[in-house]
Structure 1
Amino acid sequence: MAELDLNLLTALDALLAENSVTRAAQRLGLSTSAMSRTLTRLRQATGDRLLVQAGRQLVPTPYAVEIAERVHEMVGGARTLLQPRHHDVNLATVARTVVIRASDGFVDLAAAALLTEIQHTAPMIRLLFVSKTDKEATPLRDGNIDLEIGVLGTDAPELKTRVLFTDRFVGICRRHHPLLQGKGVTAERYVSFPHIVISRGKKLRGPVDHALEELGLQRRIIMSVPAYTSAVNIVSRSDIIGLVPLSVLAWFQAGFDISHFELPVTTPPIKVSLIWHPRLQADPVHRWLRETIVDVCRREYSRISQEQRET
């Protein structure tokens, strides 16, 4: 056949179950004449009479008897496939690898707490974190990654997003740094010391620099490193000044000899979001993981904020 009309299968199932054009039509809510025309099409498609007259009733041909059970199973399977999905899923038995593109800052902030939740509810799910070298939407579109966490950096219109928390930049320096003495952190004193930035490319300027420019000031950036760990380690052992999101401090302050301070200029808030492709919107496992990440991130960021207010 040049074209396959799958509606014929539903009609064939009804005809073989009822052995009657009239009753099959009633079963499917069609007129008798419409069902009679459908039977004609089925005979043309299969090359078999399917139902033949035997007195006042119709009886199936040998071929019709042979295929009746398979037709019924196929129609039942199609109906199941096309019905709304059951979203109930036994997470304890789900085995899946979920690929998440995220910065090392997120991994340090929430990965341990997220692992605890997963081991408790869905122990067979495995998380594979990959480096966030860019913000292109292509890996999400292609299915190479399942989730992205960070600042939205693409204008891809179809992507779904949900804000996890709103972060902010803070300055960091070694404990007892001269910047923290005397008059404290003013814009002028802030730019008087050398600075280090975290960048995976060659970008050295950001929101802080734009705010300083409005005051006629400029940072002297003497080093760029690709990871927060490197920056914090260098800051703790020199007079260089660093700049990190507040959430990063959750991991580093306890293990490094550093202090943090509020910036002497105002910078835009950092909206950290969960980003995914709409094809996974209704997937029950993906949806559960999204909700779990939201809960974990907000709880962890709230804890960090409280700890910083108390220090």
Structure 2
Amino acid sequence: MGPEIRVQALFRDRYLGVVRKGHPLDLKQDVTIEQYAAYGHVVAPYGRQTIDSLDAAIALSGLERTTVAVVPSFPAALAVARASDLVALLPASFVNTQPAAAVSVYAFELPVATEGFTVSQMWHPRLENDPVHRWLRQLVLRMCRQQVSLGL
């Protein structure tokens, strides 16, 4: 991404731990770092900074998190978590907008503090004044703000 690229922040997000309903961590009020590290994990190759800080915090407790599977996307990580005892690391906005997730998974706050992140849209300056592209950017911004205001 070059310095000329335009960036517009859409919303702030954070990662959650996600397990299938019926998993031993299901419905735990506060998942401890020991409980979190005791299970295998599935991750998508995004949020490397969060993953690294999470692993560092777990290591400070003398524990280690075992990544059993790396999948290409958040939907794939959710599918693996729903079908196994693995713990998925997923953005809250993704989990909260999946209709099937509401009945098939349990999402919980991570047992260590991690940085949130900003979801943004980007475009090249030559598209700045294109009416169709401008319409699309405004639509994306409006939909994201609507979802955030609904608490999703």
TM-score, length basis structure 2: 0.84
Change in Cα spacing, 1:290 to 1:181, as seen in structure 2 (3 Å) is: closer
Query: Relative contact order, CA 8 A, sep 6+: which one is greater?
Result: 2
For 1:169 and 1:189, locate their aligned partners in 2 and report how far apart those are by CA, in whole Å.
Answer: 17
Runs (5+) with no aligned partner, structure 2: none
Structure with the higher fraction of residues in helix conformation: 1
Change in Cα spacing, 1:300 to 1:268, as seen in structure 2 (3 Å) is: same
Show the 5 A alignment for 1:97-246: 137=1, 156-180=2-26, 184-199=30-45, 205-246=51-92
Q: Which amino acid aligns with 1:216?
A: G
For 1:287 and 1:229, locate their aligned partners in 2 and report how far apart those are by CA, in whole Å.
Answer: 29
For 1:213 and 1:160, locate their aligned partners in 2 and report how far apart those are by CA, in whole Å.
Answer: 38
Runs (5+) with no aligned partner, structure 1: 1-136, 138-155, 306-311
Report the number of matched residues: 146
Partner residue in 2 for 1:301: 148
For 2:101 and 2:28, locate their aligned partners in 1 and report how far apart those are by CA, in whole Å.
Answer: 23
CA shift for structure 1 position 223: 1.1
Structure with the higher fraction of residues in strand conformation: 2
Deviation digits for residues 178-231 of structure 1, max 9, x if unmatched?
A: 12466740011110111111128xxxx534223323433321111111122222
1:253 has 2:101 as partner:
yes
* 8 Å Cα contact 2:45-2:73 kept in structure 1: yes
Show the 5 A alignment for 1:61-72: none
Provide the alpha-carbon RMSD of the alignment.
Answer: 2.1
Percent identity for Structure 1 against Structure 2? 38
* Equivalent residue for 2:128, pick from 278, 281, 292: 281
| Stretches (4+) displaced over 6 A | none
